Structure 1
Amino acid sequence: MSLSLKIAVVGGGPAGLLFAKLVARENPGCRIDVFEQNPSDATYGFGIVLADVVLDFLTGVDADLHADLTGAAERQDAITIYHQRQAVPIRGNVFLGIPRVRLLNIMQTHAASKGVNIEYSKRIENLDALKGYDLIVGADGVNSAVRNALQHEFQAVVEPRLNKWAWYGTCHRFDSVELIFEQTPYGIFIAHSYRYAADAGTFVIECHPDTWKRAGLDTKSDEESRRFCGEIFARYLDGDELISNRSLWFNPSFVTSKRWYAGNVVLIGDALKTVHPSIGSGTRMAFEDAVALARAVNGGGGDVAASLAEFERSRRPTADGFQDAAMRSILWYETADTRMHLTPLEFAYNFMMRTGKVNRERLRKIDPDFLAAYEAEAAGKEMAEQA
């Protein structure tokens, strides 16, 4: 039986758009309005990268969307870790990079094709503007106005993390996802880089706040920071420059919400909880939240309260597990300087184990050659110590 709910979705990112489409597809009698504060073609940011398992997850949910996203993405089948300026490739990790605006445009088109109404340049600051809706979905990101409006209900904790981050782009072509740990006189600078178009890549830089200050980045302009960071990583960019698009330094926030819904208002995606750029699962979490909420609503028979309770019951254990893994990754990066003495193979192995999601046998399946090289080095060091 088709539902006839009136639903407001605040935020036109991946979480809000996928939820809206999945409910509209099954319930043409529903009125679904998405309110997005940015224009439809807003170009803030560069590209995003998704593990292939994220898009494979969509095949059984929305095969058409899966096909369009994979068709627009750049495939990279390895991670390369640079430590002590030595490259350590790890195969068996497939990533798909896509321009952020392209991802959103595809999802906007899909949602609209099912009758979803999307209003752009429309920021919802006060929930009084949404009176009359049966369900309100807060999908408006880490600085969620919906969450803030009902903070006494959601009891969210927003914790800015230690390391400083800046988001750049480049025309350099990356053949794999690259993680660069560059030792400098100021401290360690870390770059996360990947290709999202044939001739475009994202180049995200993080560093400890003490390193940031010693380098004078606390007083440098956007342009001065861009040039400075380009010089630090020049050997990895082959003469290509970094590109700024409001690439200001910031501290990513780690968001957890004690409650997931209040009355007929529910949070999903970064509005509800965040992971961290260091594990690159923000869009995955957004998609999975959207699917779980859509299933709960579609199967709830119009009982909004029961649907929201089912959403939290079915989704929370997995989401909490990802947040635990994200915190382990955050702490690993924040203490990366304590591991710089490791050999490149030891460092790469330690990196792969940082979240607790990968064990040695899983790593053996991912890239047996890498693990064999690591084990041979470890055995050689042990023999040398015993000699």
Structure 2
Amino acid sequence: MNSSHDITVYERNPEGSTYGWGVTYWYELFENLFRADPESARIIGERAVRWDTWFARVHEQPPVTIGYWDEGFGIGRQDLLDILTERARSLGVQVEFEHEVTDEAELSDADLVVAGDGVGSVLRERHAGHFGTEIDVGRNMYMWLGTTKVFDAFTFAFVETPHGWIWCYGYVYSPDNSTCVVECSPDTWKGLGLHQTNEADSLAMLEKLFADTLDGHALIGREHDDDSAHWLNFRTVSNRRWYRDNLVLLGDAAHTTHYSIGAGTALALGDAACLVDTLHQGSDLQTALGRYERERRAVTRMSQRAARNSARWYANLPRYITLPPPKMLTLLGQRHSAVLAHVPPRLYYGMGWLSSRVIRTFNRDARQR
């Protein structure tokens, strides 16, 4: 960091508090971090936990374990924030907690205002017309939970109920805890009565449904003021423009990708690294922000398409769930494909790895449209 720069980070939450449990990411995040700040990357790498296998349980069928072709990482969200906060302060950045900025006019003396205030960004919504903000609300219901069950692999569990399928996926993020995301269709959600239950009753029902996967461990909900269950529909945010005058969007304020691909943190850090690079290229501010917008929109466009395909796979789960678990799990690994939704699952699987080059070509061409 240039010592002549005066940088302040305003965080609306108190220090030491965060929403969520663990962050999952892939090696791409390390690559971005090492390029931007090797010191942060080193510390995060030391504190991360890793896995290289998938484990799946489909109702009462024997579980399946397969090796994964890319090592995955997990770290507690609070741990990650603490590392980044400490690193920022060590470089001379001022960090102010419990300070929400709702109008960029509050920072009228700033050369640049970076809005990283999340999917519901207040700063973005003030100028939604300029940014061309579009929000696509997903159909399925999901709940983001923690658990004391420490998963040895990235774990999937699919349970059939009289009202349809409900499933969870979990990953370890510390020696003592894992994240567990539960998802189902609206029909299953209402059929099970989850639309009427409070959080305690919802967790009790989910613990019973996923008892084999949790091995008797508890699910942990989010702390909030009332006892309502925190079920959500995922919102995919996209923007035609990413900056206005000296206000620029970053991370979930600019774009979101469905949680099933685990790309949000890597994309946000990639945004930050790209923004720094363009600002250091010596151009005037508007030229730099325009370059940042073009470069990152191209990257996130592909990720959002892959995420939509992944979300569609889960929304169409009955299409795949009758396959033998090993085949179903293979197609689960292909859920980012733009082709899979248009080819009968057994035929797609039968194309085999000899046809993978053709599949990749179709997927690449679809992403570029």
What TM-score does the superposition give when structure 1 sets the normalisation length? Answer: 0.83
Quickly say closer, same or farther: Cα 1:73–1:147, change in 2 above 3 A. Answer: same
User: In structure 2, what is the equivalent of residue 280 of structure 1?
Assistant: 262
User: Are 2:13 and 1:31 equivalent residues in the alignment?
Assistant: no
Structure 2 contact 32–273 (Cα < 8 Å) conserved: no
User: In structure 2, what is the equivalent of residue 104 of structure 1?
Assistant: 81
Once residues 71 and 339 of structure 2 are traced to their aligned partners in structure 1, the CA distance between those partners, rounded to angstroms, is: 15
Structure 1 contact 50–284 (Cα < 8 Å) conserved: yes
User: In structure 2, what is the equivalent of residue 253 of structure 1?
Assistant: 235
Once residues 96 and 149 of structure 2 are traced to their aligned partners in structure 1, the CA distance between those partners, rounded to angstroms, is: 36
User: In structure 2, what is the equivalent of residue 158 of structure 1?
Assistant: 135
Once residues 110 and 234 of structure 2 are traced to their aligned partners in structure 1, the CA distance between those partners, rounded to angstroms, is: 32
Q: Which amino acid aligns with 1:280?
A: G
Quickly say closer, same or farther: Cα 1:315–1:102, change in 2 above 3 A. Answer: same
Deviations 1:86-125 (A, max 9, x none): 3232333311111110000000011111111111001111
Question: How many Å apart are 1:315 and its aligned residue?
Answer: 2.0
RMSD (Å) for aligned C-alpha atoms: 2.0
Once residues 242 and 274 of structure 1 are traced to their aligned partners in structure 2, the CA distance between those partners, rounded to angstroms, is: 26
214, 218, 237: which one aligns with 2:214: 237
How many residues were matched structurally?
338
Once residues 235 and 314 of structure 1 are traced to their aligned partners in structure 2, the CA distance between those partners, rounded to angstroms, is: 45
- 1:196-215 residue pairs with structure 2 within 5 A? 196-215=173-192
Once residues 318 and 248 of structure 1 are traced to their aligned partners in structure 2, the CA distance between those partners, rounded to angstroms, is: 31
User: In structure 2, what is the equivalent of residue 177 of structure 1?
Assistant: 154
Q: Which amino acid aligns with 2:22?
A: G
Aligned to 1:134, what secondary structure does the other structure show?
Answer: coil
- 1:297-316 residue pairs with structure 2 within 5 A? 297-301=279-283, 303-316=284-297
Structure 1 contact 153–259 (Cα < 8 Å) conserved: yes
Aligned to 1:197, what secondary structure does the other structure show?
Answer: coil
User: In structure 1, what is the equivalent of residue 22 of structure 2?
Assistant: 47
Structure 2 contact 238–255 (Cα < 8 Å) conserved: yes
Once residues 137 and 357 of structure 1 are traced to their aligned partners in structure 2, the CA distance between those partners, rounded to angstroms, is: 33
Q: Which amino acid aligns with 2:9?
A: V
- 1:277-356 residue pairs with structure 2 within 5 A? 277-301=259-283, 303-356=284-337
Q: Select the structure with the greater relative contact order (CA < 8 A; seq sep ≥ 6).
A: 1
Moved more, 248-257 or 47-56: 47-56
Question: How many Å apart are 1:160 and its aligned residue?
Answer: 1.6
User: In structure 1, what is the equivalent of residue 123 of structure 2?
Assistant: 146
Structure 1 contact 75–97 (Cα < 8 Å) conserved: yes
Please list every run of 5 or more consecutive structure 1 residues that lacks an aligned counterpart in the other structure. Answer: 1-24, 360-370, 376-387
Once residues 81 and 357 of structure 1 are traced to their aligned partners in structure 2, the CA distance between those partners, rounded to angstroms, is: 23
Once residues 197 and 232 of structure 2 are traced to their aligned partners in structure 1, the CA distance between those partners, rounded to angstroms, is: 14
Structure 2 contact 131–242 (Cα < 8 Å) conserved: yes
Structure 1 contact 300–306 (Cα < 8 Å) conserved: no
Question: How many Å apart are 1:133 and its aligned residue?
Answer: 1.2
Moved more, 216-225 or 53-62: 53-62
Deviations 1:158-194 (A, max 9, x none): 1221111111111111101112222222211111101
Structure 2 contact 274–296 (Cα < 8 Å) conserved: yes
Structure 2 contact 309–338 (Cα < 8 Å) conserved: no
Please list every run of 5 or more consecutive structure 2 residues that lacks an aligned counterpart in the other structure. Answer: 224-228, 341-348, 354-369
Question: How many Å apart are 1:43 and its aligned residue?
Answer: 3.8
Quickly say closer, same or farther: Cα 1:68–1:57, change in 2 above 3 A. Answer: same
Moved more, 84-93 or 39-48: 84-93
Once residues 337 and 248 of structure 1 are traced to their aligned partners in structure 2, the CA distance between those partners, rounded to angstroms, is: 25
Deviations 1:109-150 (A, max 9, x none): 111111111110011112221212111111111010111111
Q: Which amino acid aligns with 1:68?
A: I
What TM-score does the superposition give when structure 2 sets the normalisation length? Answer: 0.87
Structure 2 contact 64–326 (Cα < 8 Å) conserved: no
Identity percentage of aligned residues: 32
User: In structure 1, what is the equivalent of residue 90 of structure 2?
Assistant: 113
Question: How many Å apart are 1:358 and its aligned residue?
Answer: 11
Structure 1 contact 172–240 (Cα < 8 Å) conserved: yes
Q: Which amino acid aligns with 2:219?
A: L
